[in-house]
């Protein structure tokens, strides 16, 4: 069985947390491989829309199964990532929210705020996100379909 692919990117504010997470993914979720799309903190113009775009485009092209985007608060990368069709990004700063986001809402991109969570918390949240699968229960499928319909209506 091939490994699942996690695309990760960060802006300048999220670079340190991203580097630490990249080093830990094998421990947190051994069935996942990392596609590191950059953001090392050396460029102050490495802005959150750039990292959100990198992850979203990789996922839309079918080269990643899920994504992780990191900025200072997690808010900017979430807003930017959700501009892409098919991306369902959300901030989750606790494992329960990360798991529920996938199970109930088919969240496929996790957003983290490097100024909000520490590495142990981020690792636990990521493990919950990567360990969850979307539910096929009718109510969750119906709701996700409605979200996709809104997306299509917006062009």
Query: Which residues participate in catalysis according to the annotation?
Result: 71, 104
Tell me the angle at which helices 138-153 and 95-105 cross, rounded to the nearest 10 degrees: 80
SS3 category, 34: strand
Give the span between the Cα atoms of 2 and 135, in whole angstroms. 22
Q: Determine the Cα–Cα distance for residues 64 and 74; give it in Å rounded to an integer.
A: 20
Query: How many beta carbons lie within 10 A of that of residue 83, not counting itself?
Result: 12
**Cα distance between residue 35 and residue 124, in whole Å:** 19
Number of residues that make up the chain: 155
């Amino acid at each position: 069985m091939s490994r699942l692919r996690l695309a990760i990117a960060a802006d300048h504010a999220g670079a340190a947390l991203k580097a630490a997470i990249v080093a830990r993914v094998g421990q947190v979720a051994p069935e996942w491989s990392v596609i590191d799309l950059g953001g090392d903190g050396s460029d102050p113009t490495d802005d959150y829309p750039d990292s959100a775009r990198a992850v979203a485009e990789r996922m839309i092209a079918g080269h990643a199964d899920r994504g992780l985007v990191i900025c200072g608060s997690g808010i900017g990368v979430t807003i930017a990532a959700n501009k892409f069709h098919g991306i369902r990004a959300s901030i989750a700063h606790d494992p329960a929210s990360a798991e529920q986001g996938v199970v109930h809402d088919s969240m496929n991109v996790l957003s983290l705020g490097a100024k909000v969570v520490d590495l142990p918390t981020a690792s636990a949240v990521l493990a919950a996100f990567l360990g969850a699968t979307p539910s096929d229960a009718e109510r969750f499928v119906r709701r996700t379909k409605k979200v996709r319909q809104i997306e299509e209506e917006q062009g």
